[in-house]
Structures are given as structure tokens and as C-alpha cells.
Amino acid sequence: MAEFDWDHSYTDYRATTAINQQPKHVNLILASSSPRRRQLLTAAGYRFTVDPPNESVESSADRNLSARRLVALLAFEKAKDVAGRIDQGIILSADTIAECNAMVLGKPKDRQDAENMLKSLSGQVHFVHTAVCLWSKPGNHKILKTDTTELEMNELSQSEIEKYLDSGLWMGKAGAFGYQDDLPWIRIRSGSESNVVGLPMELLEEMLAELDYTGGS
């Protein structure tokens, strides 16, 4: 991480070199295998290709970092991995983490892990952080920002937890739940809905504007 300077929060980085000299009409490359991020981009009218990062990127991260630092680091490393094999375009990567009582909740490893996460979130106010990284090539200009949404979960009975676990919808989702699954026991208190799904579209639009990107529909 020594190739550039983060700010003190490690969550909002802006390249120091000029970015307004980049070509306007370039490919947008989604560095993610998430179907939810693809759906959000498609629904918003963006044209893009998909080039997921190596799975080892997530497994090698330092899990002792705070939630906001960890999610920013993961988003950056995902973009960096794909940037190593791309000559031209804007690479878009993102990472999403849930946080409850200062405990980081990523994607559950298995059903038991998912159950433990849901029990820790039950009846609690918690936060979902998504970091978004844009990496423009050529030039290696980078923007990295993090968005946070505050949510509240009802107290869940064991039967409610088991029913959701049986659905399998928890798989691959930070905090072991998906807001997009129309769950009656989770609600947003403040912040972006798309951020909880995995990609804050309002923030993404602002970041792409900083790169003078005009490649939407």
C-alpha cells in the first residue's frame, strides 16, 4: 500500500495527478463477480464488461483493521488486481461489509457462520459499508470512497432465522442477509439503499463524473 498516500481515515483517497485528461469514451470494467452489482449497473443504464479479481485478494486481507479501513483496502486491492491485466478503461471495484458493535461481518463461511451473524444482528442497529474504487488506465488515476448506511433489524426468533437460512439467500452476502430479498425484519434508518445491496449508485455517479466519464446509455 506504499504506492500512494491514504488520508487519515483510509476511506477517501483521491489521486493527486490530473484526471481530466483521460478519454471520455472508455470501457467500464466491473471488477466483481457479484450478480447484484451487475444488476444495479444494468438497471442504471451503464454499459460495462466484467473481469472479476482473483479470489485470493479477499483472503489475504488483514482482518484486524476497522470495518471502514478493511472495506476500503479490499476495494482497492480488487481494482489493483484487475488493473494489472488491463491496458485501457475504467476499472470499477467494490467491497461491502456489515458492522455491528464494532464487529466486522463479511460473507459467511457456512450456514453456522450465517446463523451466528444473524443472531448478533438481531434487534440491533448496525451499519453497512461499501467502498468503491475507480482505477483509470492508461495513467493509473485512482479514486476510492466509502459510503455507509445505517440499518435496524427486528429481534428474530429461531424459527425466522432457520427459515431464512433454509432459503439459501444468505450465501455470499455481507452480514448473512440481503436487503433486496424484501425481508420484513430489516429496515434502513439512513443512507443509500443500493449501498446495502453492494454498490452505492449515487456515489458511483459522482465518482465517474470526476473522471469525466460519459459511457452510460
- Choose the catalytic residue: 7, 12, 81, 95: 95
Grid coordinates of 77:
486491492
87 is catalytic: no
Write the CB contacts of 211 (distance below 8 Å, at least 6 apart in sequence): 19, 22, 90, 134, 136, 141, 143
Give the residue numbers marked as catalytic. 95
